[in-house]
Amino acid sequence: MAVLTRPSTAIPASRSRRSPVTWYRSGGLSSIVFALPLVLIFLYFSWGPIVRGLVLSFQKNNLVTTPEWVGMANFSYVLTDPQLPQATLNTLYFALLALIFGFPVPLFLAVFISELRKTGWLYNVFSYLPAVVPPVAAILLWKFFYDPSTSGVFNAILGWFGIGPFAWLNSPDLAMPAIVIEATWAGAGATSIIYLAALTGVRTELYEAAELDGAGIWRRVWHVTLPQIRGIILIMMLLQLIGTFQVFTEPFLFTGGGPDNATTTILLLIYRYAFINGDFGAATALSVLLALVLCVLSVAYHFMTRRWSTT
């Protein structure tokens, strides 16, 4: 009985609103004072730029003279810019290529490495190494590989088999695939580390059971591994999609958007608005639009994949 009465008296007390005095006495104020600097700093540095960007997108502003409100003019300007359709198509093309070629590679690497019992760490190091190379250095190196003359590294190697030479970055058709190959090389290691971590969470009994049932390696991967880590796979796919929509470094350093705008992505266009034309209104307007599209994409993706999701 004593056990039962104690909660029955406690429940009404917790349900009734605490008075400010008890709130203060129980340390409510000090916890707010404690958290306030962090919250303010977070708001200012994390959300400040976002809000500032939003404000800028409605202004004509070169950041020196007094800004002028222009309503939706920046938005209508970037939406009617003849370069936008091509930049959008290029970005989608990059995202698609990265999904087809770039997405399976780290997954394959991770499964492959996890299957190797003894020398796995070595392959691990090898696959992660590109992620350690600074992107700019890596791209300069690959530029050298992609040298369009017959003495270029790739052309020379392909030449041994009587293939090529290819123009690589100098060809409007090959430039984007060439960039995707480098981006895959650079990104696979970091992603496969995440998959590897997820793979360690797959219970070994499942494999044993499958093995007892006579499943070979491919069936084990298909029926055990992939379903078990599908949550991570789905998240990585979304992250990759968002990442590929924001691709900038590679086209900027490899081709500057050329040849003939074949690798001009949306982010490169934003960059040009801001830093070549000094048109920060147009740049932020397009950024805001891109952010909106990515938000919609994320939400749609969430609902589309909810059925398969583990979380």
Partner 1 sequence: MTRTARFVVTLTSAALVLTTAACADGSTPAATGGGAIDQKAPVTITVGNKPKPDKPADVAAFERNVKKFMADHPNITVKATETAWDAQTFQAQVAGGSLPTVMSISFTEPLNMIPNKQLPDITDELKLVDLTKDLNPETLKMVQDDKGRIYGVPFEAFSVGLAYNRALFKQAGLDPDKPPANWDEVRQYAKQITEKTGKAGYAQLTKDNTGGWMLTTMTYSMGGTVQSPDGKKSTFNDAPAKKALQLLKDMRWTDNTMGTNFLYNQEEARQDFAAGKIGMIMQAPDAYDMCVKNFGMKPADFGEGALPQDGGPHGTLTGGSIKMINPKSTKNEIVAALKWIKSQEFDKYTTESLAVQNAKDTIADKGFVGRPGITPLSQQTYDQYNKWREPFNNVPVQQFKGYVESTTSLKLLPEPVKKGQEVYALLDPVVQQVLTKKDADIDKLLTDAASKIDARLAR
Q: Which is nearer to partner 1, 52 or 203 (CB)?
A: 52
Q: Which is nearer to partner 1, 268 or 290 (CB)?
A: 268
Rg (CA), the chain: 27
Q: Measured in whole angstroms, how far is the alpha carbon of residue 140 from the centre of its chain?
A: 22
Antiparallel, parallel or unpaired: β 59-60 and 68-69: antiparallel
Distance of alpha carbon 155 from alpha carbon 147, whole angstroms: 8
Q: What angle (nearest 5°) sits at the alpha carbon of residue 131, between those of residues 263 and 187?
A: 45
Interface residue with partner 1 among 44, 144, 222, 308 (CB under 8 A) is 44
Q: How far is the CB of 227 from partner 1 (least distance, A)?
A: 35
Q: Contact region for partner 1 (CB under 8 A) — 130-138, 141-149, 187-195, 287-295?
A: 141-149
x/- string (CB under 8 A) for partner 1, residues 63-102?
A: xxxxx---------x---xxx-------------------
Element (H, E) at 211: helix 204-212
Distance of alpha carbon 263 from alpha carbon 59, whole angstroms: 29
Distance of alpha carbon 28 from alpha carbon 32, whole angstroms: 6
Q: Which is nearer to partner 1, 138 or 232 (CB)?
A: 138
Q: Which residues in 240-279 contact partner 1 (CB under 8 A)? A: 255-261, 272, 274-279
Main-chain dihedrals φ then ψ at residue 50, nearest 5 degrees: -65, -45
Quick one: CA dihedral 137, 140, 144, 146, positive or negative?
Answer: positive
Q: How far is the CB of 272 from partner 1 (least distance, A)?
A: 6
Using rule CB under 8 A, residue 43 touches partner 1: yes
> Quick count: other Cβ atoms within 10 Å of Cβ 49?
11
Q: How far is the CB of 270 from partner 1 (least distance, A)?
A: 12
Q: Which is nearer to partner 1, 23 or 308 (CB)?
A: 23
- Pair 113, 196: CB distance under 8 Å: yes
Interface residue with partner 1 among 88, 171, 249, 305 (CB under 8 A) is 171
In the three-class reduction of DSSP (H, G, I as helix; E, B as strand; rest coil), residue 114 is classed as: helix
> For tokens 């049932």, what's the residue?
213
Interface residue with partner 1 among 11, 36, 41, 55 (CB under 8 A) is 55
Q: How far is the CB of 10 from partner 1 (least distance, A)?
A: 21
- Pair 137, 223: CB distance under 8 Å: no
Give the interface size with partner 1 as a residue count (CB under 8 A). Answer: 44
Q: Which is nearer to partner 1, 201 or 278 (CB)?
A: 278
Interface residue with partner 1 among 120, 159, 172, 231 (CB under 8 A) is 172
In the complex, the residues that contact partner 1 under the rule CB under 8 A are 39, 43-44, 47-48, 51-52, 55, 59, 61-67, 77, 81-83, 147-149, 165, 167, 169-172, 255-261, 272, 274-280
